[in-house]
Amino acid sequence: MIIREAKGTDAEQLKALYFEYLTHFPPKEEQNMQQWSALLDKFADDENMYLLVAEEDGKVVSTVQMAIIENLTHNVRPFSVIENVVTHVDYRGRGYASVLLKRASEIASERRCYKVFLETGSNKESTLNFYRINGFVIDEKHSCLKRL
């Protein structure tokens, strides 16, 4: 298993992973893969954006996205937000996402974040238990969503 930051050349594999296993309703419009690739390369150059991937046999099989948010409270310590935790169904239960979450937490700690906030759209008990096992507390804070 290789853990690394995503790069532009991962765009097609990430699209397949996201649209197959992350979104229940993938967009009907064609995706501009040049934009995907450019954004992934931009993430690699941005010290506050991380799109971590687990690679097995040259294939991206799991991913976690994290943003570091600068903050004025908590002695001017930032916090981080994790989203888009997804693993290919054929690779689940092997620890890929756990390793990615651990690495994201290490980065947040290295960056002096006072907390890591994880967003999930899932209410499945198995998913919530997975996050608990990985050190996250469910329902300590509430997230409010406004779709734009």
pLDDT by 10-residue block (mean), the chain, 148 residues: 95 90 72 92 94 96 97 96 93 96 97 93 88 88 70
What pLDDT does residue 146 have?
67
- The CATH number of the domain holding residue 53 is 3.40.630.30
Q: Give me the domain span that covers residue 96.
A: 2-133
Is residue 81 domain-resident? yes
**What pLDDT score does 30 carry?**
85
Residue 147 lies in a domain: no
Give residue 28's pLDDT. 74
Note the pLDDT of residue 88: 93
**In a domain? residue 18:** yes
State the pLDDT at residue 25: 64
Does some domain include residue 64?
yes
Domain count, the chain: 1
pLDDT of residue 31: 86
The pLDDT of residue 124: 87
pTM, 2 dp: 0.90
- Rounded-to-integer distance, Cα 70 and Cα 76, Å: 8
144 within domain boundaries:
no
